[in-house]
């Protein structure tokens, strides 16, 4: 198992919309994420800075790097782009987080 954590950034005034869109996540997107070997995925919000902190748990045979090639992933990024900082192609900007401590 591998754990991967990263930060993303919301734009002001969109927290409720961001939460609603994730509450209604598309079943085909959930299926693609699971098929890529992600078996646990959480996103946390720092309400003061609007930073999002994501934590993924990946199976040993994961194919997370293939997700950006999936049409459903690209449609989701287009759908979410107005709410957050993005790269060209609407992929959310990610800042990897360095693990410093883990208590199993």
Residues designated catalytic = 22
For the residues of 13-50, what is the DSSP string, one character each? Answer: T-HHHHHHHHHT--HHHHHHHHHTTEEEEEEEEETTTT
8 Å CB contact between 7 and 98: no
Angle between helix 71-80 and 27-35 (nearest 10): 120
Mention every residue, 6+ apart, whose C-beta is less than 8 A from residue 63. Answer: 35, 36, 37
């Amino acid at each position: 198992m591998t754990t991967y954590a990263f930060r993303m950034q919301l734009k002001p005034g969109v927290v409720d919309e961001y939460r609603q869109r994730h509450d209604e996540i598309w079943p085909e997107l959930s299926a693609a994420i699971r098929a890529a070997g992600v078996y646990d995925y959480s996103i946390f919000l720092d309400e003061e800075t609007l930073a999002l902190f994501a934590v993924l748990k990946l199976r040993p045979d994961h194919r997370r790097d293939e997700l950006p090639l999936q049409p459903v992933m690209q449609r989701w990024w287009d759908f979410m782009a107005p709410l957050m900082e993005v790269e060209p192609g609407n992929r959310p900007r990610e800042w990897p987080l360095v693990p410093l401590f883990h208590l199993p």
